[in-house]
Amino acid sequence: MTAAPTIVQRRIGIVALGCVLAFALIGVRLVDLTLFRSSPADAAPAVTHVMANRADIVDRNGELLARDLVVHDLSVQPYLLPNPAVAAHQLAVATGASEQRLLREFTRRKKPNQYVLLARQITPETQDSLSELGLPGLEFDPVMKRYYPLGEASAQILGQTDADGLGVTGIELGLDKPLRGGRSAQLSLDMRVQYVLNQEVQTARAQFNARAAGGIVMNVNTGEILAMTSLRDPAAPPNAQDRGNPNRNRMLRDVYELGSVFKIFSFTLAMQDHTVRLDESLPIGNGFKIGRYTIHDAERMPATLTARDVLAESSNAGTAQIALRSGPQRQQAFLQSLGLLSRVRSEDPEGAKPLFPRRWGQTETATVGFGHGISVSPLSFVTAAAIVVNGGRRIVPTFLKRTGDARGEQVISPEASATMRQLLRYVVTDGTGKLADVPGYDVGGKTGSAEKTDGRRYVAHKLLTSFCAVFPMDNPRYLVFVLLDEPHGANASGVMALAGHTAAPLAGRVVAKIAPMLGLPTAAPVL
C-alpha cells in the first residue's frame, strides 16, 4: 500500500506544476510574437538581420583586404517620441537623413509597434552621439558591414557587396559562395607591388595628361596576378565607356585595339611555322600596298629592314608582310589557341569578350598582324604574352595565390618561345623599347602605339600607348603591362607621344621598383 504524500511533497509538486505552466505560457507568447503577430499594413517594422559573417580576404602575404564588422541599423518608434518635430531635427543632424522626410514619417506612424528606419550601417561614433540624445524609442539592430581597410588600393579588384552582404562585382562576386560559406580567400595580389603600380601609373597619367591609364603585373609561370590598376582622368566627364564609375576595372572589363604590342603574336607564329628568317630583308620603303590600301609606318623607315629589325623598329609594313605568310586561317587558329578570341576567364566573372573580324581575309590578316582590327582586354593580352615567353605553355590567369609551377599544355614550341625571348630583349637593347631597360634585370618587351577611332576612321593624334615588359629574359618570371589612353600635352606631342617615350619608361620604373621586392637579384655585370 502506497503511503500518502507528505505536506512537503505536495508543496514541491505544486511549485513544479507552477513552473511548468509558466514556461508553457512563455513558449506560447514567443510563438505568438514570432509567427502570428504582424504590424499594421502601413507600418515599417525594424529589420532584423541574420548575423552571418562573410569570410576575410587577404593578399598573398596575409595583409587584410576585406572583413565583416558589426555595425547597426537605426530605427525608431515615433509613438514613443515626446516631441516628433524636435526629434526629427536632432536625428537628421546626427544621421544626415532628411528632416522633412523624418517628420513626415513620424506623423504617419503614430501607433505602437510602428517603426521608421532612419539609417543603415551607422558608425560607432554616430551611435554614441545618438545615445547621448536620450531619445526614447531608438533601436539599434546589429548587422554586418564589409570593410576594406586599404581603401582604393585594391577596390577595383575586390569589387563590392550589397546591403545584404552578397557580392555584386569583382572578386566579391566571383567568390561569393565560398566567402558566404565562411571560407576565407588568399589572393595572389602583393600589396607592395600594387602600391608601386598604382603610384607609377598615376604619376604617368598626370605627367602626360592621359585620359585614362592602367597596368597589370603577372607571374608568367603561374598566371598569378600580383597587381592590377586602372585610372581615369578625374577631370573628365563620365561617358558610355567609363559608365561614370571610377572603380571600373578596365584591365579586365574593357577591350582595346592595342596596336604594335600585338606584333608579338605575329612574330611568334612566324617563328613557330618558320615562315621567315630573322636575318631576311623585307622591303619597307614607302609602305606596303595590299589591295587598294597602303600600310604606312608611324615614323620614317629605311628602304629595307631585316625581320629582326621589323620587330625592333615596330614596322607595320614589315609585320603585315610577315603576317600574310601565315594566312587568315592559320592566324585565326593561332590566336584562338592563345585564348585571344574568347572571353578571358578568372575568379572575376566579368571579363570582356573580344572583338574581331567576322570576315577574316587578306586585309584583315595584315591589319590584325600589327594590332588593328582586333580588340581584346588587357588581361587577355597579358595571359597570351605570358604563354609566349614562359616556354610556350598554357596558363590560366588567377587572382588566387598558387604554389609551384602552374603551366599546362604546350601551345607553342619551346624553341619558338626561346627565340621570342631573344627578340624581345633585342627590342629593348636596340629598338623602340630602350627607355624600358633596367640595368641588371635583362628586361625584354614591346611597344604599342595604336591610333584610336572617332567611330568612322582612325585619328592620328589620338593614341593608345602601351608597353609589355618581361624580366629577366633568360628565365622569365614576371610580366609588366602598362597602358596610357591618349597621352598628350607639352610632354607628349608628335613622336614624343609614341609608346617608346610614354609607356616604355613607365614600365621600366615599375620593374626597377618591384624586382627587388620580388627577390630577384640583379644580373652580374659583364666585365
Catalytic residues: 260
- Rounded Cα gap, residues 126 and 325, in angstroms: 70
Handedness of CA 30, 31, 34, 39 (dihedral sign): negative
Instruction: Give the CA count within 13 Å in the CB-facing half-sphere of 160.
Output: 8
CA-nearest of 278, 399, 416, 274 to 338 is 416
| Bridging pattern class, strands 116-122 and 64-76 | antiparallel
Task: For the chain, give the number of residues.
Answer: 527
Q: How many CB atoms lie within 10 A of CB 247?
A: 15
Q: Would you call 109 helix, strand, or coil by DSSP? A: coil
Scored b (16 or more CB within 10 A) or e, 76-96 reads bbbbebeebeebbebbbebbe
- Rounded Cα gap, residues 185 and 176, in angstroms: 10
465 within 8 A of 503, measured Cβ to Cβ = yes
CA-nearest of 407, 481, 497, 486 to 445 is 481
Beta bridge partners, 351, equal: none
Question: Which residue in the block uniquely carries the three cell numbers 624580366?
Answer: 471
Angle, nearest 10°, between helix axes 124-133 and 84-95?
A: 160
Q: Which amino acid is residue 375, in one-letter code?
A: S
- Rounded Cα gap, residues 192 and 226, in angstroms: 9
In angstroms, the Cα distances linking 456 to 21, 89, 453, 480 are: 84, 57, 6, 32
- Rounded Cα gap, residues 45 and 519, in angstroms: 57
Beta bridge partners, 325, equal: none
Q: Would you call 434 helix, strand, or coil by DSSP? A: helix
CA-nearest of 393, 397, 369 to 383 is 397
Grid cell digits, residue 158: 575586390
| Dihedral in degrees, nearest 10, Cα atoms 485, 347, 176, 213 | -10
- Rounded Cα gap, residues 298 and 308, in angstroms: 18
Grid cell digits, residue 16: 513544479
C-alpha distance across the termini of the chain, in Å: 115
